[in-house]
Structure 1
Amino acid sequence: MYAGSLLTVAAVALFVAAGLAQDDPDSTCLSYGIDFVNGNEYFINENSTADFTFVSQFNGCNNDTAYAMLSSPTGDEYDCSDVPTVPSLVSEMSTCDIEKDQMYSGWWLILILGNNLNGNPFAYQRNVSLDVGIQQTTTVRTVSTFFAICIDHRQSTPTITYTQSVTPTVNITSTSTVLTTTTVPAKTTIVEPSKTAYRTVTPKPRTTTSVKTITRTLKKWTKTFEKDTVTVTARCTVPPRPQQPDPTCKIKPTLKALPSGVHIDIKRSEDTLLDPAVAKQRYENMRARRAQQLDQRDMVKRSADVPTVTVTATQVVNTTITQTAAATTFTSETITTKTVKTTAKPSTIYSGIAVKTITAPTPVKTAYKIKYTTTWTTTTWTAHYTSTKTVTPTASVTACKKSGGHFGGGWGIL
Structure 2
Amino acid sequence: MSAFRLSGFLATALLGSRVVAQTCLSYGVDFQSGGDYFQNISSTAPFTFASLFEGCDNDVANNILVDPNGDEYQCTDTPLQPDDVIELSTCPMDKNEMWTGDWSVLIISNNGDGDPIAYERDFYLSVGIPSTITYTPTVTITSTSTPLVMVTETSTIVSITTLLAKTTTVASVTKSPTVTITPPISTVVVTKTATLRKTAYTVVPVVVTTTKTASCSMPPSQRWPDPTCTITPTLVTAAALSTSDSGSSTSGGASPAATSATASPVAQKVRRGLFDRAVPLDRAARLAERKARREANNKLHRRAPDSATTTVTQTDTALYVTSTSVTTTDATTMTTTTVATSTSTSTPPVVTVKSGSTTLPVVTTTLKQSTTTKTVMTVLYTTVKTVTSSPTVKISVTSTNSQVAVACTAKGGRMT
Q: Is the 8 A contact 1:216 1:330 kept in 2?
A: no
Q: Report Cα offsets for 1:20-60 as digits up to 9, x if no partner.
A: xxxxxx99321111011112221222232221110000111
Q: CA 1:86–1:256 in structure 2 vs 1: closer, same or farther (change >3 Å)?
A: same
Which residue is equivalent to 2:161?
A: none
Letter matched to residue 309 of structure 2? T
1:97 equivalent to 2:92? Answer yes
1:304 equivalent to 2:305? Answer yes
Which residue is equivalent to 1:328?
A: 332
Q: CA 1:237–1:118 in structure 2 vs 1: closer, same or farther (change >3 Å)?
A: same
1:219 equivalent to 2:199? Answer yes
In the alignment, which of 39, 59, 74 is matched to residue 64 of structure 1? 59
Q: What are the equivalent positions in structure 2 for 1:142-161 lying under 5 Å apart?
A: 157-161=136-140
Which residue is equivalent to 1:392?
A: 400
How many aligned positions are there? 284
Letter matched to residue 328 of structure 1? T
Q: CA 1:287–1:229 in structure 2 vs 1: closer, same or farther (change >3 Å)?
A: farther
Letter matched to residue 95 of structure 2? K
Which residue is equivalent to 1:32?
A: 27
Q: Report Cα offsets for 1:328-376 as digits up to 9, x if no partner.
A: 357899xxxxxxxxxxxxxxxxxxxxxxxxxxxxxxxxxxxxxx99782
In the alignment, which of 101, 118, 124 is matched to residue 106 of structure 1? 101
Q: CA 1:75–1:166 in structure 2 vs 1: closer, same or farther (change >3 Å)?
A: same
Q: Report Cα offsets for 1:70-109 as digits up to 9, x if no partner.
A: 1123221101001111111000100001122222222212
Q: Is the 8 A contact 1:71 1:78 kept in 2?
A: yes
Which secondary structure state, in structure 2, belongs to the residue aligned with residue 397 of structure 1?
A: helix
| Structure 1 residue 396: Cα displacement | 2.0
Q: Distance in 1 between matches of 2:113 and 2:381?
A: 103
Q: Is the 8 A contact 1:304 1:407 kept in 2?
A: no
In the alignment, which of 143, 160, 164 is matched to residue 143 of structure 2? 164
Which residue is equivalent to 1:353?
A: none
Q: Report Cα offsets for 1:191-245 as digits up to 9, x if no partner.
A: xxxxxxxxxxxxxxxxxxxxxxx99654333443322223222232212332211
Letter matched to residue 310 of structure 2? V
Which secondary structure state, in structure 2, belongs to the residue aligned with residue 399 of structure 1?
A: helix
Q: CA 1:79–1:377 in structure 2 vs 1: closer, same or farther (change >3 Å)?
A: same
Q: What are the equivalent positions in structure 2 for 1:196-215 lying under 5 Å apart?
A: none
Which residue is equivalent to 2:173?
A: none
Q: Is the 8 A contact 2:141 2:201 kept in 1?
A: no
Which residue is equivalent to 1:11?
A: none
Which residue is equivalent to 1:78?
A: 73
- Structure 2: gaps spanning 5 or more residues: 1-20, 154-193, 254-279, 338-379
Letter matched to residue 308 of structure 1? T
| Structure 1 residue 377: Cα displacement | 4.1
| Structure 1 residue 66: Cα displacement | 1.3
Letter matched to residue 314 of structure 2? A
Q: Distance in 1 between matches of 2:80 and 2:321?
A: 59
- Structure 1: gaps spanning 5 or more residues: 1-25, 141-156, 175-213, 334-371, 409-414
Letter matched to residue 321 of structure 1? T
Which residue is equivalent to 1:254?
A: 234
What is the percentage of aligned positions where both structures have the same residue?
40
TM-score, length of structure 1 as denominator length? 0.58
Which residue is equivalent to 2:111?
A: 116
TM-score, length of structure 2 as denominator length? 0.57
Q: Report Cα offsets for 1:238-285 as digits up to 9, x if no partner.
A: 12332211111122211122248844744488xx99555994798599
Q: Distance in 1 between matches of 2:110 and 2:296?
A: 39
Q: CA 1:289–1:331 in structure 2 vs 1: closer, same or farther (change >3 Å)?
A: farther
Letter matched to residue 61 of structure 1? C
Q: Is the 8 A contact 1:304 1:401 kept in 2?
A: no
